[in-house]
A and B are shown apart, each in its own frame.
Chain A
Amino acid sequence: GNSVTQMEGPVTLSEEAFLTINCTYTATGYPSLFWYVQYPGEGLQLLLKATKADDKGSNKGFEATYRKETTSFHLEKGSVQVSDSAVYFCALNAGNNRKLIWGLGTSLAVNP
């Protein structure tokens, strides 16, 4: 079946550090891949997405590349800010919206 595995948190970084949050998936067919972010006290919101192999999603300085050969969609940012402190969720859509499959979330804390 379809599944998403992302690195466990919490992740604690200093401001301007490089961030990687790993995400790997198992899916039949050709899923779309997503990163959602949940800031403190707010609802989940889409951060970036990629719908086919080798696509790179990017937003707010974050990037993730859809790697079919390694079944991965790792989230990266070159220089994190305190305002990036949030919980990040990797998810896949294997063909219909109701079955978005979610990772467990990775909590990120960025210290000044």
Chain B
Amino acid sequence: GAGVSQSPSNKVTEKGKDVELRCDPISGHTALYWYRQSLGQGLEFLIYFQGNSAPDKSGLPSDRFSAERTGGSVSTLTIQRTQQEDSAVYLCASSPQGTSGSRTGELFFGEGSRLTVL
């Protein structure tokens, strides 16, 4: 399809296990974002990729969280040694613009990956 694709849509894991969440952005979009949506917490910024620039990791909550973006396209968010507080919906978004010019702020979101840590 033409939209942002995320997988898996649902993931149930045991505390202490590692998980990988994948995001395939819209073709041609240079900017990619990961957000976390927790019940009653709104959207929490995690990490931002723009082209070949170093990613902005300022939102990652701990060093158990990491993300890569290969070839300027697909991104993987990895959570190591999962904890129950990591349970949330992880949203990926892409945008044709980066930070250099536009303030339009239109992000195109995937449907999210719901992570449940038991």
A contact set with B: CB distance below 8 Å: 32, 34, 41-46, 49, 51, 89, 91, 93, 95-100, 102-105
In the complex, the answer to whether A97 meets B109 with C-beta atoms within 8 Å is: no
Residue of B nearest to A31 (CB): B103
Chain A to chain B contacts (Cβ below 8 Å), 22 pairs: A32-B103, A34-B105, A43-B3, A43-B91, A46-B107, A49-B106, A51-B104, A97-B33, A97-B97, A97-B98, A97-B102, A97-B103, A98-B33, A98-B45, A98-B48, A100-B43, A100-B45, A100-B107, A102-B42, A103-B42, A104-B40, A104-B42
- CB of B95 closer than 8 Å to a CB of A: yes
- Give the distance in Å from the alpha carbon of A93 to the alpha carbon of B99 in the complex: 11
- Give the distance in Å from the alpha carbon of A45 to the alpha carbon of B42 in the complex: 15
In the complex, the answer to whether B99 meets A97 with C-beta atoms within 8 Å is: yes
Residue numbers in A under 8 Å from B102 (CB-CB): 97
**A-B CB pair tally, cutoff 8 Å:** 66
- Known A89-B43, A97-B95, A97-B98: A43·B110 in contact at CB below 8 Å: yes
* Interface size class of chain B, counting residues whose CB lies under 8 Å from the partner chain: 20 to 34
Residue numbers in A under 8 Å from B95 (CB-CB): 97
Interface residues of B, dominant DSSP: loop
- CB of B4 closer than 8 Å to a CB of A: yes
In the complex, the answer to whether A104 meets B103 with C-beta atoms within 8 Å is: no
In the complex, the answer to whether A96 meets B99 with C-beta atoms within 8 Å is: yes
In the complex, the answer to whether A104 meets B106 with C-beta atoms within 8 Å is: no
- Known A98-B48, A98-B99: A91·B105 in contact at CB below 8 Å: yes
In the complex, the answer to whether B4 meets A43 with C-beta atoms within 8 Å is: yes
Interface string of B1-31 (1 = CB under 8 A from A): 0011000000000000000000000000001
- Give the distance in Å from the alpha carbon of A42 to the alpha carbon of B105 in the complex: 19
User: Which of B4, B93, B105 meets A32, CB within 8 Å?
Assistant: B105
Least CB distance, B87 to chain A, in whole angstroms: 18
Residue numbers in A under 8 Å from B33 (CB-CB): 97-98
- CB of B41 closer than 8 Å to a CB of A: yes
In the complex, the answer to whether A42 meets B42 with C-beta atoms within 8 Å is: no
In the complex, the answer to whether B111 meets A43 with C-beta atoms within 8 Å is: yes
Residue numbers in A under 8 Å from B99 (CB-CB): 96-98
